[in-house]
């Protein structure tokens, strides 16, 4: 058992909360186990997962990010976590750039910071690059069903299901089942979406974390799915349990842009005991 005292920052984007650690200062040897331990709400800090960030050693990026879900599995990308990193590195003086290149497991993402007159980051827009759509209903084994939906990859997999009334959906029951469906060998994030006059109401089941208050890539996938199916224009207001995110799927470059606030909840130190 290894004991290590680390400094952490608790941040969230629309309620999608993570524990952030600067690994230039506090390297973590076993981030999979650390994420499980620290993410527990009753015995740890409590979060949707652990995010490790640091300065990039390569010329193609300013900072790097690795994300681990609450169950210890490593994720490819998180739009909300990316926005939080942008806010923190600017406000803490780690950079004076208003545009930041962040290296993730799904490529380098560009963060554009909206900075006010007091030097505070009010909002962050992330270029999430181009979405990829697939038909996951193809080649289903006989007798096996998959609810009608739209599969969209935003660097990580999402399956968006449009419903008439989101309050009628048992997100935990359906999310657990669909995350592990045979058509998703890599497991999948599941979005349940209802199109309303004020925007698209979405509830999320994230692979490896369960129900979360928001999901940046899930918001992007939902906006793309709504546009593909004619339910919305290329600009969407995505209303999640923890807040609202704004999505634009631009025609000029085909990229999806995610905008919204990022919040630093608190900072502290914790003694991490990992095997």
Q: Residue 123 belongs to a domain with what CATH number?
A: 3.10.310.10
**Structural domain that includes position 199:** 132-254
Mean pLDDT of 58-73: 96
Same domain for 33 and 145? Answer: no
**Given its phi and psi angles, is residue 208 left (phi above 0), alpha (psi -120 to 50 degrees) or beta?**
left
* Catalytically annotated residues: 78, 215
**Tens of pLDDT, residues 230-249:** 999 999 999 999 999 999 99
Higher-pLDDT residue of 4, 223 = 223
Regarding whether 62 and 163 lie in a shared domain, the answer is no
Let me know: does 5 contact 272? Beta carbons within 8 Å: yes
Q: How confident is the model at residue 222 (pLDDT cuts 50, 70, 90)?
A: very high
pLDDT at 140 over 90: no
Query: The dihedral of CA 6, 79, 129, 171: what is its sign?
Result: positive
Note the pLDDT of residue 274. Answer: 77
**Do 88 and 101 have their domain in common?**
yes
C-beta of residue 89 within 8 angstroms of C-beta of residue 81: no
- 113 and 191 share one domain: no
Domain total of the chain: 2
**What is the reported pLDDT for 122?**
95
Long-range contacts of 111-120 (CB under 8 A, 24+ apart): 111/82, 111/83, 111/85, 111/86, 113/86, 113/87, 115/90, 119/91, 120/91
149 and 176 co-located in one domain? yes
CB 222 within 8 A of CB 193: yes
Q: What is the pLDDT of residue 183?
A: 86
- Specify whether 36 is located in the same domain as 115: yes
Whole-number mean pLDDT of the chain? 94
139 shares a domain with 76: no
Backbone angles phi, psi at 186, to 5 degrees: -90, 10
For residue 101, pLDDT over 70 is answered with: yes
Query: Do 233 and 246 reside in the same domain of the chain?
Result: yes
Report residue 167 as tokens.
Answer: 């309050």
Q: Are residues 8 and 124 in the same domain?
A: yes
Label residue 141 by pLDDT band (50, 70, 90): low
Same domain? For 118 and 42 the reply is yes
Residues 66 and 117 in one domain: yes
């Amino acid at each position: 058992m290894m004991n290590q005292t680390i400094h952490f920052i608790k941040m969230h984007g629309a309620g999608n909360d993570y524990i952030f650690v600067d690994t230039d200062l506090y390297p973590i040897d076993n981030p999979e186990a650390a994420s499980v331990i620290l993410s527990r709400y009753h015995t740890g800090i409590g979060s949707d997962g652990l995010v490790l960030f640091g300065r990039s050693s390569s010329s193609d990026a300013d900072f790097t990010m690795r994300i681990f879900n609450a169950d210890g599995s490593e994720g490819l990308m998180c739009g909300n976590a990316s926005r939080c990193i942008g806010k923190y590195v600017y406000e803490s003086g780690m950079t004076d750039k208003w545009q930041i290149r962040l290296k993730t497991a799904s490529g380098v993402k560009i963060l554009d910071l909206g900075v006010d007159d007091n030097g505070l980051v009010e909002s962050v827009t992330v270029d999430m690059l181009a979405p990829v759509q697939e038909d996951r209903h193809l080649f289903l084994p006989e007798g096996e069903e998959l609810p009608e939906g739209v599969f969209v990859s935003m660097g990580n997999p999402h399956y968006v299901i449009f419903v008439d009334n989101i309050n009628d959906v048992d997100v935990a029951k359906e999310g657990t089942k669909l995350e592990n469906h045979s058509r998703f060998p890599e497991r999948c994030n599941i979005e349940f979406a209802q199109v309303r006059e004020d925007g698209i109401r979405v509830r999320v089941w994230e692979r490896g974390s369960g129900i979360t208050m928001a999901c940046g890539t899930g918001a992007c996938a939902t906006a793309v799915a709504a546009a593909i199916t004619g339910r919305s224009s290329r600009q969407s207001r995505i209303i999640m349990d923890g807040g609202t995110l704004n999505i634009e799927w631009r025609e000029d470059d085909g990229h999806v842009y995610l905008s919204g606030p990022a919040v630093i909840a608190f900072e502290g130190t914790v003694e991490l005991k990992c095997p």
